[in-house]
Structure 1
């Protein structure tokens, strides 16, 4: 029995097929699911075998092939359902783990920050190569720059602290860039801040963390946990 024959027989056959369809609807099962279609197919197959022409019996190979196709579809549906459940579980675990970050210090790959009157801004420079000089250029929203020398360093992380009182910086928005020795590309900058709030978007997606001095950023942009 081909799929076209099965569909035609489903539309024209009453009795057992109608009873099966009614049972499916009464139990609240999706009539279009692979399991429901397989049950209906078996009922129709039995009805057709019982009413076959003894002189021209049906070929059982087609039935076996059709049942195998239903089994494959049902396995695919089960796999899809398991994957969806796993995704929901992972999302819930991510939300729970993100909520535990409130009050903790994290590091984010960024170069813009809000500086207060007293609270310093800390972070680190990721040096890929050793440099004979490492300088921070701290630029305010009006384009005025202040240089903070960090000295010579080997390859690796270089910690820094931007103290507004020591450098005479006023509260406001700033951008930080790094100067290294000639011939080297500007390294990456990580800025630190305490997580003040975690927000879950109503339309889905990754949780957003509100970090002091850095604003609201996606959870996946955090590169390090802990000071």
Structure 2
């Protein structure tokens, strides 16, 4: 008498478990999943109990999952290609910025010959008052500037290079911070540096501009070009 091995229950469970494991693995490709599934499916069909065959609904579910993974991986590849092409195009378009002066987020000021480098502030809303605090490399406050009735947007800040006592500060590196209020409420201005663009590069975060002050910034963060 010929005996038939009943692997319907265990085979179906093994197929589901193995495929689900592969589906949860980020390293599994769509072709790997399809190959693995078909191998297990053929093995299961060859060993199933004719009196208790494979559950068609489970087979359909596994096929649908594999189809979904394959579609998503194809879509992901296409999107990555489009992003790479867009990044390259943006880098080429940004090449015209080389040699131009731009304003980007930053809080550095350089003083040379008693003359400070240009800097500014980006106000999210119109401000009744804004306070600019300038510090030396040791963190000591050397000058506090008060700005009144400033409109929203990019605003230049004028500093004569003197401290609060009217003395010309020493050449070197300084930093500044900005606070502002509008109708009694605090707003969050952004400190801005002026610098000249000397290079254009790209990485996973997008197109970057290399500046003469040693800073780099995303091209989308440029507030003003002159």
Give 2:23's aligned residue: none
Cα deviation, 1:61-112, whole Å, max 9, x if unaligned, reads 6145314312322322330342244135324523542451542444323322
Distance of 2:51 and 2:179 partners within structure 1 = 87
Figure out how many residues of one structure are paired with residues of the other and give that number.
Answer: 196
Distance of 2:112 and 2:224 partners within structure 1 = 23
Instruction: Tell me, yes or no, if the aligned pair for 1:200 and 1:208 is still in contact at 8 Å.
Output: yes
Give 1:5's aligned residue: 11
> 1:2/1:81 Cα in 2 relative to 1: closer, same or farther (>3 Å)?
farther
Alpha-carbon distance, 1:36 to partner: 1.7
RMSD: 4.4
Give 1:25's aligned residue: none
- Consecutive unaligned residues of structure 2, counting only runs of 5 or more, are 1-6, 16-28
Give 1:40's aligned residue: 39
Give 2:172's aligned residue: 172
Give 1:79's aligned residue: 72
| Residue 121 of structure 2 is aligned to residue 124 of structure 1 | yes
Distance of 2:205 and 2:180 partners within structure 1 = 38
| Residue 67 of structure 2 is aligned to residue 70 of structure 1 | no
> 1:192/1:4 Cα in 2 relative to 1: closer, same or farther (>3 Å)?
farther
Distance of 1:91 and 1:129 partners within structure 2 = 38
Instruction: Tell me, yes or no, if the aligned pair for 2:90 and 2:207 is still in contact at 8 Å.
Output: no
For normalisation by structure 1, the TM-score amounts to: 0.59
Distance of 2:70 and 2:9 partners within structure 1 = 19
Give 1:153's aligned residue: 149
Distance of 1:119 and 1:41 partners within structure 2 = 73
- Consecutive unaligned residues of structure 1, counting only runs of 5 or more, are 10-29
